[in-house]
Amino acid sequence: MTAVEETGNESAVLQEYRRALRTWLEKHAPGPVAGLSGEEYLRTAREFQAALHDAGYAGITWPREMGGQGLGQAEQQVFADEAAAYDLPLYPFMIGMGMCGPTVVDLGTAEQQRRYLPPLLRGEEIWCQLFSEPGAGSDVASLQTRAVRDGDRWVVNGQKVWTTNAQFADFGALLARTDPDRPKHAGLTMFVVDMHAPGVTVRPLKDMSGRAPFNEVYFDDVEIPAQDVLGEIGGGWAAAVTMLGHERVSIGGRQRARSNPLEFASLAELARRTGAGRDPVRRDRLAELYAHERALELLNVRMRQEAAAGRSPGARGSVAKLAGALQARRAIEVAGEIAGADAVAWDPGDERAAELALAINSAPASSIAGGTNEIQRSIIGERILGLPKEPQVDRDVPFRDLAVGTRRREGDR
Amino acid sequence: MKLVLDAEQEDLRAAVRKFLADRAPSERVRAVMDGDPGHDPAVWTGLAGLGVLGLVVPEELGGAGAGHVDRSVVAEELGRALTPVPFLASAVLATDALLALDDDGARAELLPRLAAGELVGTVAVAEHGGEWDRTGGDTTAAERDGRWELTGVKTPVLAGDTADVVLVVARTPDGPGWFAVDAGAAGLARTRLTGLDPTRRVARLEFDGTPARRLATADAAAAVDLVADLAAVALAAEQAGLLQRAMELTVDHAKVRVQFGRPIGSYQAVKHGCADMYSAWELAVSVLRHAAWTADHDRAELPVAAALAQTYIGPAAFTTATGMIQYHGGIGYTWEHDAHLFYKRAKSAEQLLGPPSGHRARLADRIGV
Ligand SMILES: Cc1cc2nc3c(=O)[nH]c(=O)nc-3n(C[C@H](O)[C@H](O)[C@H](O)COP(=O)(O)OP(=O)(O)OC[C@H]3O[C@@H](n4cnc5c(N)ncnc54)[C@H](O)[C@@H]3O)c2cc1C
């Protein structure tokens, strides 16, 4: 449905773009990637990204002089809906392409843009985002990783956590505290850090699905050259907000992979196979699931069309992010109704059941990663609806005097 | 697929919004809903003057030759303002029925006058609990000496007590048929029902050998389905408009109402509730634009899109109207405050074309569950 439905009102130029892309994808999209081992998957992903780049489909909206294609949101939208018909191995580059790269485009020096953007677009370098810490998740501005200036370099010490893809990342966008005497938002700086630098330790962290897609990252006297500050010294919060804006759009607007066992099509197919679809209550739940899934899809199409017409999504990305997370929960309920006990116990080797279980165990991530549902609702309430902010106790206090994370302030009882 | 309005459609919205703000503010809505005929003839004439009653009617039949996206923009505005006019009955149901049937004579005679607001039309299909029955239900049509007569009961019928012409679906010896009945026809009893929603009147029509004119149609049942689907889209537009306005008024209130020394909108329970309303609106509008677009450009997809629109938007609008009362506290529960009008309109709209589970069942059929 998705791939063909965009064509209605397109200009001849866009239609031609779509035709060419469709032909290219038919020829070059790799086969199913679900069964590949970690290494094979990564290799396939790198090769595909390189092919995308060579064909002129990498960094579609990025400026030409930075290695991008210099095209508009309309072309980006065409790419998104044509890509939706495939299970493309874009995941390893998602953080780089969707979040870090666009931030370098926005805030990087010419030198940084020359150094980092082309290899990212060619699939040669993978990026991660080093924001969260054990004491600083939703309240990321309370982070404690320190960067201390020493001549023409910075020396970093601290710990990050839940860092997706750090296990194979080449670079990270690191947020660190450079001035603890200033209020928490004012004392931060963003850096580009070389993940292979001495003193960087990456330890895999198992998630509740049993896999280890994210990590703990330790920095012990890691040196970062002064030219790798991204944005302004002390301007880390503004840089983080820029990146988080890109993040919500890239998460909320992400194309569903074709093989998601929690999407309507998969569950309806399961219902047909097992006969559960004949039960009126389950039919009702499936129809409702379809409605919410389709509503979210249509919202994403609409926001892309608005972006193409010059209206940027801004904080509205939070709506898609939130709706996606709520949809995942709804889908799990319906999956349980359709699959019954088969959802929780299955014959060894039953791939389909295993996939469903993995999806059930992965779903909570979408309500947490990239900002929790509660944080998205606060963003919508404050930035879109203009509702008054909550009273803040920590806005003007020097960071060193604050209680953060789960530790108490010294001197407290 | 195009889900954003163009500049002309935005202008149309602005014009209708301004007109309703000037001519049909809340005080006027309240005055009209308490009196007779229960809708606002002055606003009706004004809407006709704006040319918005015949948006889907071809120009040669006195309409604007625009489309369903345009009409849904108008319906959104009428929903926002809770305007008591028979738009859904006349500019949607009766108009769509005439366009769906194949009776050139009736079309030429009635459509220009419906578009001009000179006539109010409606459609009578529902019986018993309000579900639309494409067979004609228990209403029968018999032919005597080349003239048709109807016998049966239709309820609820939108604007049924005031409409000038009623298009009725009834059973004939050769399957379902469509008929036109004049308001003054002999053997027609019209009873205004007491309604949950004071801003929209409905009636029960009893036909007892009532003379009727049979309308030519190639497929009467298919016409019922099409009219129902287009009505679902127009109603969804009203509901989306209502949802949006209920959300805006709630947000405005949350900014100024102070309790415990802070505006209540600074408390997360309230702020997050408002955020959910806003999210529901963004999704609802996306669903609506798509449904209206299919009505104009992709009739094969319309049945799914229409069922989807009612499945998603109806309950979302009612939930929002409920939240509107909640976040207004005691004042929201008073007669003086408009919150209850949003609540009642939202509930009755949610049931108007059958209950939400009926829409979900139709959706399930249409997506092959
Ligand atoms: C799969 C996954 C991948 C991730 N990848 C990355 C990554 O690549 N890089 C990275 O930097 N981080 C990453 N994260 C971390 C993620 O950004 C944080 O987990 C998230 O922001 C929440 O922070 P927290 O875990 O500290 O929870 P907390 O902030 O402690 O939240 C706990 C609970 O309190 C609520 N809460 C907190 N503050 C408020 C408030 N002000 N108002 C209302 N409720 C509040 C939350 O909503 C939540 O329900 C990832 C997380 C996951 C799950």
pLDDT for A3: 37
pLDDT for B96: 98
Nearest CA to ligand 1 atom 7: A163
Rounded CA separation A306/A309 (Å): 5
pLDDT tens profile B109-127: 999 999 999 999 999 999 9
pLDDT tens profile B165-206: 999 999 999 999 999 999 999 999 999 999 999 999 999 999
Residues B326/B253, Cβ–Cβ less than 8 Å? no
pLDDT band at B36 (very low <50, low <70, confident <90, very high): confident
Q: What is the pTM of this model?
A: 0.93
- ipTM score for this prediction: 0.94
Mean pLDDT of chain B: 97
Q: Is the pLDDT reported for residue B310 higher than 90? A: yes
pLDDT for A251: 62
pLDDT for A287: 97
pLDDT tens profile B102-111: 999 999 999 9
Cβ pair A298:B266 closer than 8 A: no
Rounded CA separation A265/A271 (Å): 10
pLDDT tens profile B317-365: 999 999 999 999 999 999 999 999 999 999 999 999 999 999 999 999 9
pLDDT tens profile B214-235: 999 999 999 999 999 999 999 9
Cβ pair A385:B275 closer than 8 A: yes
What type of residue is B251? V
From the list A82, A247, A293, A297, the catalytic residue is A247
Residues B200/B348, Cβ–Cβ less than 8 Å? yes
All residues of chain A having their beta carbon less than 8 Å from the beta carbon of residue B283 are 292, 295-296, 298-299, 319, 323
Nearest to B360 among A287, A319, A380 (CB): A287
pLDDT for A73: 81
Nearest atom (ligand 1) to Cα of A374 = 47
Secondary structure in 3-state letters for B294-352:
HHHHCCCCHHHHHHHHHHHHHHHHHHHHHHHHHHHHHHHCCCCCCHHHHHHHHHHHHHH
Is the previous residue joined to A204 through a cis bond, with omega within 30 degrees of 0? no
pLDDT for A84: 82
The pair of three-digit structure tokens given for residue A101, joined into one six-digit string:
């790269």
* Strands (E) located in chain B: 121-124, 140-144, 147-158, 165-172, 175-182, 188-192, 202-215, 258-259, 262-263
Beta bridge partners of B62: none
Per-position b or e across A94-126, b if 16+ CB within 10 A of its CB:
bbbbbbbbbbbbebbeeebbebbbbbbbbbebb
Cβ pair B278:A302 closer than 8 A: no
High-pLDDT (> 70) share of chain B, %: 100
pLDDT for A2: 39
For residue A79, what are the CA distances in angstroms to A15, A53, A82, A118? 12, 13, 5, 20
Mean pLDDT by 10 residues, chain A (413 residues): 48 93 96 84 95 96 94 86 87 94 96 97 97 96 97 98 96 98 97 98 95 95 98 97 83 58 93 94 97 95 87 88 95 95 93 91 93 96 96 90 72 49
The pair of three-digit structure tokens given for residue B276, joined into one six-digit string:
């959910």
Beta bridge partners of B179: B168, B214
Q: Looking up tokens 């889209």, which residue turns up?
A: B233
Q: Which of A300, A336, A293, A317 is nearest to A383 (CA)?
A: A317
Q: Is the pLDDT reported for residue B61 higher than 90? A: yes
pLDDT for B224: 98
How near does any CA of chain B get to the CA of A191, in Å?
A: 33
Would you call A390 a catalytic residue per the annotation?
no
